[in-house]
Structure 1
């Protein structure tokens, strides 16, 4: 059984990493104004001064990085909660995180 899990993991991890890279690239390319890949690459390399580069650097790149960081943080928080409670079905309500967040919203 462990061999089957290892094979599945060996296929799933690179596949999901490739999917993340594709989604990241698409988030930089697609928007209200679709941009060609050459413009995005020029903007990321710093050799472009057009309005399209401003779109990439000031709007799309921060949004994409924020999404990646937030998703990673939420995944890490979920894994940490499941590890600490030793419960694979742990959720934020288990430790009162939802109640604390609601209280913070009421105070704010």
Structure 2
């Protein structure tokens, strides 16, 4: 299960490059625990509105080295979390989001 004190500490080394956590919702079903985290919306422009890059992005010179450094730090963090597929997440969010009182 997610350990609140340790995971944020592991990502603290990213130098503030992680959106602020606004809300957490935990639930359990059929012996599996789930945690949903709502993060702040960033006001920075996106590189692409599509998951597939359709053109060469215009990035500053330090962007790729910064990404590489951040990924190395994330890779070094230990966790027992399991990632879900996007299709499942899309279904689950549309089913459960109305039950959370985080936007009002």
The TM-score with structure 1 as length reference comes to: 0.28
Which protein has greater RCO, CA pairs closer than 8 Å, 6+ apart? 2
- Name the structure with the higher strand share: 2
Larger radius of gyration: 1
- Name the structure with the higher helix share: 1
The TM-score with structure 2 as length reference comes to: 0.29
